[in-house]
Amino acid sequence: MIKPVRTLEVELRGIAEDRSYPILIGQGLLADLGALPELADDAPVVLVTNETIAPLYLSRVRDALGQQRRVTEVVLPDGEDQKQLASVEQVWQRALEDRHERGSIFIALGGGVVGDLTGFAAAGFLRGVRFIQLPTTLLSQVDSSVGGKTGINHPLGKNLIGAFHQPSAVVIDLDTLASLPDREFAAGMAEVVKYGCIYAPDFYSWLMANASELAGRDQTVVAEAIARSCSIKARVVAQDEREGGLRAILNFGHTFGHAIEKEMGYGSWLHGEAVACGMVIAARISARRGWVPDDTVTALTDFLTAFGLPTSPPEAMSVDVFLEAMALDKKVAAGKVRYVLLRALGTAILVDDVTRDEIALAIAG
Ligand SMILES: NC(=O)c1ccc[n+]([C@@H]2O[C@H](COP(=O)([O-])OP(=O)(O)OC[C@H]3O[C@@H](n4cnc5c(N)ncnc54)[C@H](O)[C@@H]3O)[C@@H](O)[C@H]2O)c1
């Protein structure tokens, strides 16, 4: 039997019960994958990963799936630029050549890039097949693997083509973090602290108190941070599967962050790094409005700095550059940029009345 230390359930409210799915968190879970109920009947599998992750974890997963099962392996090159239609077509091509049918299960082994594109491939294959997420970066474990947003990039913008397609299960093997570079770990930690800021003041305080254990990757503390992050994301998604309202609070720091990513060229700043800086800007605006104490902004900045994350924007990013880039963001509603601010620590709200002066003061520090 697969033995997670933590199991969470993503309950999709008002929707058929079979759309709910488990998130399993623990050590050594990849090796026990075959025992997952979703895989118990030897269903054929299309297993997608990339060239960095394959030498590390592919054989572990392959062995766990057993000799009897038909498994099609697709190993893509690494990189955000692989999150494109050609990769999805490659997955479909291989799946069709190997005669996969509607009972087959797609499995994504990797970070958010592999997860997003494999989920999208599963959403479209034969009008939708089941898929399982095996996230191997901290960011994908706490964010992209949970929530059912799948998709690819388009030359005109990131994540513009996609589908909501919920996984059948998310299996987080904590052992995979051992090989994750520090910079990627830190980028994931930005999303972790985001959950505390927007939803859970107690979790925020806990993170602040455990910053050095987290930076030192203490296994127990990291496991707890992942479980609490997934649980918050699951709760938010359960209330708003398709981003009609509440889910938008997950974009805290992202409006400013996307502007930085776009202006600096995707990849030069990691997504989590840009979000870290974006959260500081949004928190400063919230503090100037008197909604959160200055101490909260200081604690957030210190926490992010402990992971080597940036807390001020690059010099090239003037207020006008920010404003122009944000006006083009796909999350602009009816011509107005919407910002996620903190009405209090743990309570995020959407506003569209942030002024140029507020942004100028916040980016100045
Ligand atoms: N679907 C969603 O809701 C959602 C949410 C947030 C982000 N995203 C997407 O996720 C993507 C970013 O995900 P990411 O940060 O995981 O990036 P990624 O998938 O590119 O992984 C980062 C790097 O780490 C490598 N890697 C992965 N696991 C490893 C491991 N265990 N050991 C060593 N190296 C490993 C990868 O090969 C890659 O080089 C973006 O495309 C973003 O748009 C999606």
Closest residue CA from atom 22 of ligand 1: 111
- pLDDT in the model for residue 240: 81
pLDDT one-digit tens code per residue, 154-194: 988 889 999 999 999 999 999 999 999 999 999 999 999 99
Q: How far apart are CA 29 and CA 174, in angstroms?
A: 8
Ligand 1 contact via 78 beta carbon (within 6 Å): yes
Catalytic one of 194, 247, 262, 284:
247
Dihedral of the alpha carbons of 349, 309, 80, 38, in degrees to the nearest 10? -70
Which of the listed residues 88, 113, 242, 243 should we mutate to test ligand 1's pocket, taking the one with most ligand atoms within 8 A of CB? 113
The amino acid that residue 156 corresponds to is: L
Strands 157-164, 169-173: pairing kind: unpaired
In short, whether 184's Cβ falls inside 6 Å of ligand 1 is yes
How far apart, in Å, are the Cα atoms of 139 and each of 15, 144, 145, 146? 27, 7, 9, 11
Q: Is 49 in the pocket of ligand 1 (CB under 6 A)?
A: no
* Residue from 62, 83, 233, 262 carrying the catalytic annotation: 233
pLDDT tens readout for residues 32-56: 999 999 998 899 999 999 999 999 9
- Determine contact, residues 352/337, Cβ cutoff 8 Å: yes
Cβ–ligand 1 contact at 140 (below 6 Å): yes
Using the Cα atoms of residue 314, residue 318, residue 321 and residue 325 in order, give the sign of their dihedral: positive
Asked whether 118 lines ligand 1 (CB < 6 A), one says no
* All residues at 6 or more sequence positions from 105 whose CB lies less than 8 Å from its CB, including other chains: 38, 39, 43, 44, 45, 46, 129, 130, 131, 132, 168
Mutate to test the pocket of ligand 1, among 144, 154, 261, 273 (most ligand atoms within 8 A of CB): 144
Say how far apart CA 147 and CA 8 lie, in whole Å: 13
Cα 221 to Cα 244: distance, rounded to the nearest angstrom: 33
pLDDT in tens, 116-147: 999 999 999 999 999 999 999 999 999 999 99
pLDDT of residue 344: 97
What mean pLDDT do residues 75-83 have?
Answer: 97
Q: Active-site residue 3, yes or no? A: no
243 as an active site residue: the answer is yes
Say what the alpha-carbon torsion angle 339, 342, 347, 350 is, to the nearest 10 degrees: -20
How far away, in angstroms, is 24 Cα from ligand 1 center?
19
Q: Pick the catalytic residue: 83, 271, 284, 358?
A: 271
Tell which wins on pLDDT, 333 or 29.
29
pLDDT tens-digit map of 8-18: 888 765 544 45
Q: What is the pLDDT confidence band of residue 331, given thresholds at 50, 70 and 90?
A: low
Whether the CB of 301 sits within 6 Å of ligand 1: no
Q: Which long-range contacts (CB under 8 A, 24 or more apart) does 3-9 make?
A: 3/28, 3/29, 3/32, 4/29, 4/171, 5/223, 6/223, 6/227, 8/227, 8/230, 8/231, 8/234, 9/234
Ligand 1 atom having least distance to the Cα of 187 = 15
Handedness of CA 254, 258, 260, 264 (dihedral sign): positive
The CA distances from residue 225 to 146, 152, 207, in Å, are: 15, 28, 8
Cβ(110) – ligand 1 distance below 6 Å: yes
Q: What is the per-residue pLDDT for 1?
A: 61
Q: Report which ligand 1 atom has the smallest distance to the Cα of 146.
A: 3
Residue among 83, 165, 194, 258 flagged as catalytic: 258
Q: Which domains does the chain have, with CATH numbers?
A: 6-178 (3.40.50.1970), 182-364 (1.20.1090.10)
pLDDT of residue 134: 98
Is the four-CA dihedral 273, 277, 282, 286 of positive or negative sign? positive
Q: How far apart are CA 25 and CA 191, in angstroms?
A: 18
HSE, side-chain direction, 13 A CA sphere, residue 321: 15
pLDDT in tens, 89-119: 999 999 999 999 999 999 999 999 999 999 9
- d(Cα 333, Cα 317) in Å, to the nearest integer? 23
Residue 112 CA, ligand 1 centroid: distance in Å: 4
pLDDT score for 300: 98
